[in-house]
Amino acid sequence: GGPGFGMVNADVKLTYQCKEQQTKLCFLGLQCMSFISVYTVCTIHQPGGGMPSGMGYPGGPAPGQPMPGYPGAPAPNPSMPGYGGGTPGAPIAPAINLCCVQFCRGFRGTISDFPGADPLKDVEILRKAMKGFGTDEQAIINLLGSRSNKQRVPMVKAYKTTYGKDLISDLKSELSGHFENLVIAMLMTPTEFDVHELREAIKGAGTDEACLIEILASRSNAEIREINQLYKSEHRKSLEDAIISETSGHFRRLLVSLSQGNRDERETVDVSLAKQDAQSLYAAGEHKLGTDESQFNAILCARSKPHLRAVFHEYQQMCGKDIEKSICREMSGDLESGMLAVVKCIKNTPVYFAERLHKAMKGAGTKDRALIRIMVSRSEVDMLDIRQEYARNYGKSLYTDISGDTSGDYRKLLLKLCGGND
């Protein structure tokens, strides 16, 4: 959950041997070439030969990176910032701190394509489940819980084509409560669901700031641009204007910056710039009376994620404090929560979502909107990694906590998305 290359003092060559190709990645200081593939063998070569002691194989997609299986997202790249001090005169094993980067291990979701799925046949099952007296909820759970998003969404048109009726309307008339909300969410595309959730977070009395930050901090540039287009088309108002009308101050600036979908997405890291940015963050916060929030905003919202992981490492090395602790000391309220969410997503996205799920279920009552949103949106992205981090950080499996905090058909379908116990 979140290992990576914190420091490289020697040239490191990674050789991936795949079924169809062999590609070499050479790290000279911090200049690296990105490679995307599901590997079968990974070997690390270094001057003098041998494998660095303690070297392991990280467990999932790069933290904070767009994940496979989420439409509109660019393919995930392994991001590996290193910190070079030049080539050593004699063979020296590189000092590697696996805290920042992970290798792509392929699909990490719990819901995948069902072989031979046919939307015309699937809607017959849905129609039969809703026909006559009563509703066969189990049939709906079995069907939707075994189809990927791209197999569920066409059911809406197939239902109207076959029966001349609206599937969403029929489901709403037959179902109720959180189970209804979950079923409807599963029949939207990822972009439609994000737009729906952002709209719900903004409209009415009060604003769900945590929802706004969660979506905008965790989506890729391509996903955010699709969200902006659909939001304006559906609501005749830009997402940026909606944010401006409902938020204020530096928190508003943070959301507006994130909503541009304009983060640098290069995989290479300039170590001198990383050091400079770390110094700028220190000068804007811990090193002065008061806080220059705009400097934090400029760096955290514009720089690439591999670069920011390098910045966080340099910051820790420079002032002996984790960037999260500095944010907690220097900021408060929604701005503090927002900045922390951005940092956590960049460091390790599954850890961030595991924490969000834990907060949604702990204590009295359940934050069902957040629970539904995360379980649906991450089920084809990184749910396996989220489950792993959840069990590691909270001592119980996600499956166990969902089972204890929800009930009935709602629980059954959530557990389908969860995919199993750990």
Structure confidence by residue, pLDDT tens digits, 115-128:
999 999 999 999 99
Q: Is pLDDT larger for residue 292 or for residue 232? A: 232
Q: What number of other Cβ atoms are within 10 A of residue 330's Cβ?
A: 20
93-97, 176-180, 300-304, 313-317: least confidently modelled range:
93-97
Torsion of CA 120, 125, 129, 130, to 10 degrees: 10
In this predicted structure, the answer to whether residue 159 has a pLDDT above a threshold of 50 is yes
Question: pLDDT tens across 352-402, in order?
Answer: 999 999 999 998 889 999 999 999 999 999 999 999 999 999 999 999 999
d(CA 131, CA 204): 36
CB 65 within 8 A of CB 79: yes
- Average pLDDT for 251-255: 98
How is residue 31 annotated by DSSP?
Answer: B
d(CA 73, CA 364): 36
In sequence order, the 6+-apart residues with CB closer than 8 A to the CB of 306 are 62, 79, 80, 81, 101, 266, 267, 268, 269
Tell me what pLDDT residue 51 has.
33
- Average pLDDT for 5-28: 36
The token pair at 233 is 């088309």
Model pTM above 0.85:
no
SS3 content of the chain, % helix, strand, coil (to 5): 55, 5, 40
In this predicted structure, the answer to whether residue 80 has a pLDDT above a threshold of 80 is no
CB 35 within 8 A of CB 16: yes
383 CA to centre of own chain: 10
Tell me what pLDDT residue 288 has.
66
Tell me if residue 45 falls in helix, strand or coil: strand
In this predicted structure, the answer to whether residue 3 has a pLDDT above a threshold of 80 is no
CB 307 within 8 A of CB 81: yes
| pLDDT range class, residue 68, cuts 50, 70, 90 | very low
Tell me what pLDDT residue 289 has.
66
Measure the CA angle with vertex 79, ends 73 and 84; round to 5°. 160
Phi, psi (5° rounding) for residue 223?
-65, -40
Q: Is pLDDT larger for residue 6 or for residue 337? A: 337
